[in-house]
Structure 1
Amino acid sequence: MTPRTPARFADSRHEDRRRTFPALQPLEGEDFASSWWGNAWVEALEDTALDHARLTRGRAYARRGHVDAITVTPGRVMAYVHGTRPRPYRTEIRLRTLTDGDWGDFLATAAARPDHIAALLDKDVPHALASVADLLPTPGDLIPDCSCPDDGYPCKHAAALCYQTARLLDEDPFVLFLMRGRGEREILADLSHRNATRSAAERTGAASGTPAPTVPASEALAPRPLRSLPPPFAPPAHPGRPPAYPQTPGAPDPLALDLLATEAAARAHTLLTTGTDPVAQLTQWQDAVRLAAAHPGSGLTASTRALYRDLAVATDHTPTDLARAVAAWRQGGLAALAVLEEPWDPPAGPFDRARPALVAADFPHFRPWRNHLSTRSLQLRFGRDGLWYGYESDPDREDWWPRGTPDADPVGALAALLGR
């Protein structure tokens, strides 16, 4: 609920069909409205405007306090607005008033629910009520008029009046109701009458002796079999594809939207078909590598290069670190990424038998270090999953990149690395 400071307008002259508010103080460092209905008023003004430069000047006039006392009557808001000339301009905003039928629908809906009445008494407007009778203005619903020679629509003086009016609406939504044709006392009296009539009807029904329909407690609490649920729908064969997102000024990046929608669809499909979440146990870095690995290499498109750059910065790595990790992920997923990043000391067994097997296959020059077997430009790494992973580097550079397909046989992994 929007905070209120009604004391700011306590000296307004208040007649039920005419209210005059003293000139508002200059506005500094805050929006003209914080309530949803006050912002709807501002949006209707800005969506109607044909010249946004005049809106900018109107906002400046309103913020500096150029708008004098504001008078609100059904269908009309009027004030004198100071401009560049000594004499202020007479400025009006006109809008359509509601019919008696519209008001009847609005009041009947409000009286039907005590929480709606409580909200109105607390100077709040439930969304459901505003939509009953089209209380809020729409683009084209606000008609400005000003005695100045400017033929803008609206001129800066009318724009300033609109912005200041939003501050009044923010404090008291009954100002909006008055613009639409009914005063506060009239509305509250009608709601009170309708509520009293409703309560009397309920008491009369209770006193008439007509019993309310009942169900015996033994019947209500008796155990009974539940109907079986229908079988679930078969999951689709593949996750859906998101729509194309155009580039729009001020909108999120289309690549980011496409990535988010695609990942959500793939994750939901996996969870639906397997019952497991493929992402839940990943660290932020591992998930960034997974995301980047699902897209083409970093040198193909500007958008993909931007993706690599943004993911690397977000995880405190360089784009080269990310590209190397992506190569490992494509080689063998999470297990291959662990092989890239976590040297370890394997126990006696398959690792010790690897060098004799390589010598027998005429590859005698591999030297061991922890779980690595290396030459000047080739390397095999033994993973905790029992597979051998191939790596390549320029001779004597120690700049190792994952290559080839993992294999339980070190000779097979080397053959895949060499393309044999």
Structure 2
Amino acid sequence: MAAPHRDTDLRRTFPAFSARPTEGDFAETWWGNAWVAALEEGALDVKRLVRGRGYAEQGHVDAITVTPGHVLAYVRGSRPRPYRVQVRLRTLDDTDWERFLDAAAERPAHIAALLDKELPPSLAEGAVPLLPGPGELEPHCSCPDRGHPCKHAAALCYQTARLLDADPFVLLLLRGRGERALLDELSRRNATRAARAAQEHPPAPLPGVRASEVLAGRERSPLPLPAPAPAHPEQPPAYPAAPGGPDPFALDHLATDAAARAHALLVTGHDPIAELTLWQDAVRLAAGRPGSGLTAGSRALYASLASAAGRTPADLARAVAAWRQGGPAGLAVLEEPWDPPAGRFDRARPLLLAADLPAFRPYRNRLTHPRGHLQLRLGRDGFWYAYESDPGADDWWPRGTPDHDPVGALTGIGTLSDI
């Protein structure tokens, strides 16, 4: 029996047609009726044709399988068990297919018609006739009737005409080629033909006059003066809160920042923020959030910015403290140890001793209090940045205000007697 799930480009199975009485022509298209004419003109017994048409109209033909050169179906007759019916049709050889494909690709209307499930007479009846003539259909049936054709084979032929009505590629499959392979080959040939035609007949230049010739010698009106820049970037609109929507406070923060950057670019022609890395910009945005401490909204903002930069909210919180302490230079002091040249760094320890402070331990650009709770870091900008940690925890956080004097950087976080 038919197995639709096994269909390929060279094997198609169609479900059985329901019962449908007809009046006049059995098929609806000219090529479907040409198929019926080939059946009826090659038949030896008109009565068997009448019985076969009746079987087709009553829905006695089961699912139909079409392969190159064959139409196969089971047809129910007078006995309980259906008969196996096959109708054969000669397939085209490679030479015939080359002629057919050349003819189809020569006229774009042929390809358009096939895509619309139409079969132009000029293509079907051209150099390579596609439709069968009288006697070309070869029926075979498992019934004992030796008529040509028997009523079961006639029923299958009539129903095949309905398949051709719906899809002329069924006829092309019967002749040996599947739809996908045919369309691919037609597309290739059509593209090749179009490229060759473009090379042989390049498009003529369009008539006209060059704009430079038209505008030559004309006085151009001066451009209007640019509008004065606004004094400030104004305030963004108020964003309402919506269930499941973005945080309106975060939207306001981002809109305010974007407006300030646009205003600076308009006034100065320079946007320093564009030079920042993704991480630096995330730190800048978080540091620009007004207020101190983490609220529910701040936590959401920190989590979002940290995730986008591939860091943790704790990393971002520490970086925000460094940014608020010294901007990009302060962030660099937090994250980038370096080896300063001789000079300012070497003079720092005597200055600290002169202020009655203990001897700080040097390491690269850092001076650490002996108790391990305070640290001074020299930035590349020449400022000293104070850091604080629990003794021995190595958990350093920026504190105070940067200063060119190491003693001054420490006094910003408390009195020297406390240190």
What TM-score comes out, normalization by structure 2 length? 0.46
Larger radius of gyration: 2
What TM-score comes out, normalization by structure 1 length? 0.46
